[in-house]
Amino acid sequence: MGKDASLDPQGAQIVACDAGGTMTDVIVVDRAGSFAIGKAATTPDSQATGFCAALDDAFGPRASTDPATNVSIAGVEACVYSGTSMLNALLTGTGRRVGVITHRGEEDIFLHQRSRQTWAGYGVADLLHHVAHHRPRPLVSRRLTKGVTGRIDMFGVEAIPLYEDEVRNAVAELLAEDVEAIAVCLMFSYLNPAHEERLAELAREVIAGAGDPPVTLHLSHELAPIIREQGRLNTVVLHAAAAEPCRRQLLGIEGALRNRDYRHPLQVLLSHGGVADIRYQRLHESTFSGPIGGLLGARYLSSVTGIDNWVCADMGGTSFDVGLIMGGEPMLDREVTVTRRLFNLPTLVMDTVGAGMGMYVSIDPLTQRITLGPGSAGAEPGPVCYDLGNETPTVMDCALVTGLLNPHNYLGGKVELNTSMALKALREKCADPLGVDVHYLAEGVLDLVTSSLREHIRTVLGTRGFSAADYSLLAYGGAGPLLMAGYSSGLPFRGVATLPSAAGFSAFGAAAVDLTHRYQKSSGIIVPDGADDDWKVGMGELVNLGWDELEERARADLSSEGLDWAAASVQPLAYVRYGGQMEDLEVPSPVPRIGSAADMDALIAAFEALYERIYAEVAKHPQAGYHILELGLTVTIPKVKPRLTCHPLQDPTPTIRAVKGQRDVYHGRRWRPAPLYDMDALQPGNEVEGMAVIEAPATTLFVPPGHRVRMDEWSMLWLTSGDDQQ
């Protein structure tokens, strides 16, 4: 899986982007599966600028030096975006001003919350000291939350009619508060949306008569027709506040690509691992697309290499994300916790801590101890060595002054790092107050960081009852390979690997997935133990109605995106649990529809087989019957993807072209000479003995003494220690 530094724009077929908090990575893949990776600083105010700069960087010397002349990508079949802009809007509260309409009597829903949400996101220590808890700030203020009379009951039947005058008054009051969007969430609208639909008609009449700039309306039965009101309402508010502004940014990127002759819609990576057109109605499903691209890349690696279990460790400028691939597939949560709030968003599981290379390093004035974070320098102003105005040292400054990073090769030499400024800041702000050598302090910071990352990995595995001995570690992100040896030390992984494309691996993952939409809908289907055939058929008809509704929605979405339904593969899903249990399992249905009692038995048998595989046979409890409280559907259309190439192994000794020279590195409390290697010039079969530094334009791999790196037939770089080699 190698990089072609001179990729021809005319041969490009896939473009994928991962826009992080610090850097934007773009991968360009040609028809043969070769690829090139470009990097540029993220530009939050106009993401099209950073996207296009990274795209030009990927084409390297073939890109025009004249900024008025754009590189044509007329032959590209798919452009995929993933990023963190929507998540950042949620984290910072910088989205649109949103008003909410719910039931009368429920106006305090954001204050009293769901009981689980008051505890969500707390660590063990906070859970033990609950008297000190502070509830999260209401997602929408009480002033902007209006209640109207009306009720659909739990069977989908109207119990209280909708009071239309209250609806008109509520909308008018919200317009007077200068809201930019209105989110509507009424109870049991996922069973019967009649009240929400009528409320929308009335609201649009009031909005049209106001004559103000248009206020958008967002309905829960369209965006999140799933049980659990708090998570559903939070999701609709997230969409109203952040998804639509993000869509404007995405349309701007698409416009910039049109100027480069791109002929298709821009696609966006969804949090559950699918891909959709940026005009996709439920764009909020892309909220967590940034961190999951690497998981999808690891899943693709599993399918090619046969290594089914990975711990995926993504380290960039602002965070350290850890996810798991088990049996070749990532884990999926249907309800996620962000900013201590619950959202009904199907999302691939990634556990994140703030531990990137841009994290600030300081000295606590009371304890006289090193403090890491919680702030990060981000892309602007960046670490001290960027020389853009920041005076607080960062983890990256520590890596630079110890010799791990080449100041003349950052981003392939496009950015010159200022070592003297980094050294001065570390000495004045950290080393001198402690009375220690500045290089000794910098190495200590790196040791502290790697120790923290190691414990995070251990926690991710331990809390789920898994062992590192059953997994291989895949390190990626711009900083992932640099500290890989440190944070994998002491954990008994089957193997520890990274890739030449590590810096752009999340973008690679975004390019390696098919166009997939996922749909879900709550239901109320019960099959008691020993149910007769007539009951099973009757319940099967309810299942079919749910699947039919989801398929109709899927057909409409694909039609609006100009996609061919005939090319789609459809997989019905049922979320099944034993009666009395709190959690269910996602069961791919073995039959397209339930047409007989035997079909229902086949669905139940699939659930029991999955349950046994996860929890063991003794945990099964068929006597409690089966509950299907949610139905789902995935629709997949294949698209062009990068190809991984298996290369013949070469001699273990790298060629002279791969040797770049030598640099002193501070390691083990002293300076030592370290040979330098060009990562892109290494060949499959080559081995590098530590201590050494292997450089690529966008990442660096440090090989400590007593370790060895070997490139395999897939161009993956495997790190082993002396103990591993015995």
Q: Are 421 and 383 in contact (CB under 8 A)?
A: no
pLDDT at site 420: 95
Tens digits of residue pLDDT in 571-608 = 999 999 999 888 888 899 999 999 999 999 999 999 99
> Which letter does DSSP use for residue 283 in this model?
G
**Owning domain of residue 265:** 9-89+247-286
The verdict on residue 348 lying in a domain is: no
- Do 158 and 129 belong to one domain? yes
Backbone angles phi, psi at 660, to 5 degrees: -100, -15
Tens digits of residue pLDDT in 476-527 = 988 899 999 999 999 999 999 999 888 888 888 888 888 888 888 888 899 9
Q: What is the largest CA-CA distance in the chain?
A: 82
The CATH number assigned to the domain holding 58 equals 3.30.420.40
- Do 281 and 186 belong to one domain? no
pLDDT at site 282: 86
Helix (H, G, I), strand (E, B) or coil at 389: coil
pLDDT at site 407: 92
Q: Are strands 717-721 and 496-498 parallel, antiparallel or unpaired?
A: antiparallel
Give, to the nearest 10 degrees, the angle between helix 164-176 and helix 194-210: 50
- Do 633 and 522 belong to one domain? yes
pLDDT at site 130: 60
- Do 84 and 144 belong to one domain? no
The Cα–Cα gap between 298 and 306 comes to 11
- Do 110 and 145 belong to one domain? yes
**Residue 397, class by beta-carbon neighbours within 10 Å (0-12 exposed, 13-18 middle, 19+ buried)?**
buried
- Do 264 and 155 belong to one domain? no
The verdict on residue 303 lying in a domain is: no
pLDDT at site 31: 74
pLDDT at site 726: 38
- Do 540 and 621 belong to one domain? yes
Question: Positive or negative CA dihedral for 18, 473, 305, 688?
Answer: positive
CA-based nearest residue to 499, from 353, 620, 334, 642 = 642
Helix (H) or strand (E) holding 461: helix 438-462
pLDDT at site 723: 57
Token pair recorded at residue 141: 């203020």
The verdict on residue 311 lying in a domain is: no
What letters, b where the CB count within 10 A reaches 16 and e where it falls short, cover 327-355? Answer: ebebeeebbbbbbbbbbbbbbbbbbbbeb
The span from the first CA to the last CA of the chain, in angstroms, equals 29
Tens digits of residue pLDDT in 408-457 = 988 777 788 999 999 999 999 999 999 999 999 999 999 999 999 999 99
pLDDT at site 4: 45
| Residue 723: CB atoms within 10 Å | 8
Q: Are 476 and 498 in contact (CB under 8 A)?
A: yes
Least confident of 92-96, 133-137, 187-191, 324-328: 133-137
CA-based nearest residue to 165, from 207, 206, 213 = 206
Q: Is the model more confident about 709 or about 518?
A: 709
pLDDT at site 39: 82
pLDDT at site 2: 40
The percent of residues in the chain predicted with pLDDT above 90, rounded, is: 46
- Do 59 and 134 belong to one domain? no
The Cα–Cα gap between 334 and 321 comes to 19
Tens digits of residue pLDDT in 238-275 = 889 888 888 888 999 999 999 988 888 898 888 888 88
The verdict on residue 700 lying in a domain is: yes
Token pair recorded at residue 367: 């304890």
pLDDT at site 210: 78
The verdict on residue 497 lying in a domain is: no
CA-based nearest residue to 84, from 126, 34, 42 = 42
> Cα Rg for the chain, rounded, in angstroms?
27
pTM over 0.85, yes/no: no
Token pair recorded at residue 591: 């039959």
Q: Are 12 and 33 in contact (CB under 8 A)?
A: no
pLDDT at site 19: 85
- Do 526 and 630 belong to one domain? yes
- Do 632 and 557 belong to one domain? yes
Tens digits of residue pLDDT in 522-558 = 888 999 999 999 999 999 999 999 999 999 989 988 8
pLDDT at site 134: 65
Q: Is the model more confident about 161 or about 65?
A: 161
Bridge partners, 158 (sequence order): 152
Query: At 64, is the pLDDT very low, low, confident or very high (cuts 50, 70, 90)?
Result: very low
The Cα–Cα gap between 272 and 633 comes to 13
- Do 257 and 209 belong to one domain? no
The percent of residues in the chain predicted with pLDDT above 70, rounded, is: 91
The verdict on residue 541 lying in a domain is: yes
Q: Are 76 and 15 in contact (CB under 8 A)?
A: yes
CA-based nearest residue to 561, from 345, 285, 266, 219 = 266
Helix (H) or strand (E) holding 169: helix 164-176
CA distances from 159 to 2, 147, 150, 154 (A): 64, 17, 8, 10
**The tokens 């009293």 sit on which residue?**
112
CA distances from 460 to 120, 353, 488 (A): 17, 11, 14
pLDDT at site 600: 96
- Do 24 and 115 belong to one domain? no
Using the 3D structure, point to which of 448, 470, 492 is the last residue of a domain: 448
pLDDT at site 92: 67
Label residue 137 left, alpha or beta by phi (over 0 means left) and psi (-120 to 50 means alpha): beta
The Cα–Cα gap between 75 and 31 comes to 10
CA distances from 659 to 121, 655, 680, 682, 686 (A): 48, 7, 11, 9, 12
Q: Are 459 and 465 in contact (CB under 8 A)?
A: no
What letters, b where the CB count within 10 A reaches 16 and e where it falls short, cover 533-548? Answer: eeebbebbebbbebbe
Q: Are 298 and 509 in contact (CB under 8 A)?
A: yes
Mean pLDDT of the chain: 86
The Cα–Cα gap between 358 and 379 comes to 8
pLDDT at site 520: 86
CA distances from 233 to 99, 185, 339, 342, 669 (A): 12, 6, 15, 9, 54
Average pLDDT over residues 709-720: 95
Considering its fold, how many domains does the chain have in total? 5
Average pLDDT over residues 650-663: 94
Q: Are strands 670-678 and 692-695 parallel, antiparallel or unpaired?
A: parallel
One-letter amino acid of 434: L
| Residue 201: CB atoms within 10 Å | 10
The verdict on residue 480 lying in a domain is: no
Answer yes or no: is pLDDT of 351 > 60.
Answer: yes
Token pair recorded at residue 694: 């292997």
Answer yes or no: is pLDDT of 1 > 90.
Answer: no
The verdict on residue 701 lying in a domain is: yes
Tens digits of residue pLDDT in 113-159 = 665 656 665 555 566 666 666 666 778 888 999 999 999 998 889 99
